[in-house]
Amino acid sequence: MTTTTSVLDLVESARRRARLAAVLGRLLAEEPRPELAELVAAVPELAPLAEPDPALAAAFERLLIREVPLHESVFTGPDGRRGGPTVAAVSGFYDRHELGAPPRWRVAGSDHVGVELWAYGALCAEEASGWEDQQPDRATRAVEAERELLAQHLATWAEVAITALARRATGTAYAALAAAAGAFVAAEAERLRPAPDHPGLPPVEVAPAPRRGGPGPLARWLLAPGRCGAYLDVDDLAGAAHALGIPWRPSDPRSRFREVIDSATDGGDLPALAAALKLPVEEWRDAHARNEAEREGNRRAWRAWRMRAEESMRLLDRVERSRSAHSAESRAEGEFGSVVVRVRGADALEREHAAAKVIDRLRALELLVAVCSDLPADLSRGMETLLAAGADAVLLASDTSTAVAWRDGGPRVEREQRYLADVAVIVRLEPATGATRVEVDAQGEPELRDRVFEALADFGTRLDAAEPTRTTS
Q: What does residue 100 show for φ and ψ, rounded to 5 degrees?
A: 80, -175
Instruction: Look at residue 469 in the predicted model and tell me its pLDDT.
Output: 44
For residue 324, pLDDT beyond 50: no
Q: Which residues contact 438 (CB under 8 A, 6 or more apart)?
A: 340, 341, 342, 343, 355, 358, 359, 362, 425, 426, 427, 428
For residue 25, pLDDT beyond 70: yes
Instruction: Look at residue 45 in the predicted model and tell me its pLDDT.
Output: 82
Percent of the chain residues topping a pLDDT of 90: 49
Higher pLDDT, 231 or 323: 231
- Nearest-angstrom CA–CA distance, 272 and 316: 10
For residue 178, pLDDT beyond 50: yes
For residue 175, pLDDT beyond 80: yes
Instruction: Look at residue 71 in the predicted model and tell me its pLDDT.
Output: 97
Instruction: Look at residue 366 in the predicted model and tell me its pLDDT.
Output: 66
For residue 328, pLDDT beyond 60: no
β-bridge pairing 339-344 and 435-440? antiparallel
Higher pLDDT, 333 or 454: 454
Instruction: Look at residue 455 in the predicted model and tell me its pLDDT.
Output: 72
Q: What does residue 344 show for φ and ψ, rounded to 5 degrees?
A: -115, 160
For residue 37, pLDDT beyond 90: no
For residue 111, pLDDT beyond 60: yes
Helix axes 155-168, 173-192, angle to 10 degrees: 160
Q: Could you tell me the residue ranges of all domains in the chain? A: 2-192, 215-325, 333-472
Report pLDDT digits (tens) over 132-143.
999 999 999 999
Name the most confidently modeled range: 75-79, 126-130, 415-419: 126-130
Higher pLDDT, 55 or 285: 285
Higher pLDDT, 183 or 410: 183
The closest of 228, 226, 220 to 77, measured between CA atoms, is: 226
For 2-192, which CATH class?
mainly alpha
For residue 462, pLDDT beyond 50: no
For residue 262, pLDDT beyond 70: yes
For residue 288, pLDDT beyond 80: yes
Asked whether 449 and 442 are in contact (CB, 8 A), the reply is yes
User: What rounded mean pLDDT belongs to the chain?
Assistant: 82
pLDDT band at 461; cut points 50, 70, 90: very low
Give the least confident one: 87-91, 156-160, 179-183, 385-389.
Answer: 385-389
β-bridge pairing 339-344 and 469-472? parallel
Instruction: Look at residue 345 in the predicted model and tell me its pLDDT.
Output: 57
Q: Which residues contact 388 (CB under 8 A, 6 or more apart)?
A: none
For residue 185, pLDDT beyond 80: yes
